[in-house]
């Protein structure tokens, strides 16, 4: 039983190093064989370690990791200055249709919906606030105009 933590620690370390390697090559398609070569580890051993440590193979793990990174970029991006295509390419996805399908399957919405979603809500809230502000300003102007008219009438009576 004591040997289990000792066995898992180097495995977790390898998974973390592999994550770092993938993050260090963000806009490049990742092939598991490339990562294995970078760490001088046999493919089958690498796959087994991933299955035992994270419950899935390295290819699926890296794809999920990159999808999450793309989602973060889409949520942070502006639809006026950011494109879904550029974010997909920046995160190593070369087949945009597959990226969009995997994204929708994973997150339940299209990448475009994510990119525009937060900003549409923000824009709507901003427009609503501007409308409320202009409505308040209009009421204030009307009150001021009414006061000024009353003041002028009073001045005429006194004169």
pLDDT tens digit string along 43-67? 999 999 999 999 999 999 999 999 9
pTM, 2 dp = 0.65
Report the distance separating Cα 51 and Cα 57, nearest Å: 5
Note the pLDDT of residue 88. 94
Q: How far is CA 11 from CA 17, 41, 46, 68, 147, in A?
A: 10, 12, 9, 23, 79
Task: Report whether 89 contacts 25 (CB < 8 A).
Answer: no
Ordered by where they begin, the domains of the chain are 3-158 (1.10.10.60)
Q: What is the pLDDT of residue 66?
A: 92
Give the model's pLDDT for residue 1.
42
* Per-residue pLDDT, 6: 41
Q: What is the pLDDT of residue 28?
A: 82
Per-residue pLDDT tens listing for the chain (159 residues): 444 444 458 889 999 999 999 988 888 888 999 999 999 999 999 999 999 999 999 999 999 999 999 999 999 888 889 899 999 999 989 899 999 999 999 999 999 999 988 555 455 455 455 555 555 555 555 555 556 666 666 676 666
């Amino acid at each position: 039983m004591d040997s289990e933590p000792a066995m898992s620690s180097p495995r977790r370390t390898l998974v973390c190093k592999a994550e770092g390697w993938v993050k260090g090559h963000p806009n490049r398609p990742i092939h598991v064989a490339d990562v294995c070569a970078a760490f001088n580890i046999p493919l089958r051993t690498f796959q087994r370690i991933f299955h035992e440590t994270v419950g899935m193979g390295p290819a699926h793990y890296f794809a999920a990791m990159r999808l999450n990174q793309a989602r973060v970029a889409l949520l942070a991006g502006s639809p006026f200055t950011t494109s879904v295509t550029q974010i997909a390419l920046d995160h190593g996805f070369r087949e945009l249709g597959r990226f969009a399908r995997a994204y929708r399957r994973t997150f339940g919405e299209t990448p475009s919906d994510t990119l525009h979603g937060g900003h549409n809500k923000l824009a709507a809230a901003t427009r609503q606030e501007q409308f409320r502000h202009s409505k308040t300003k209009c009421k204030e102007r009307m009150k001021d105009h009414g006061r000024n008219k009353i003041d002028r009438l009073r001045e005429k009576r006194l004169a």
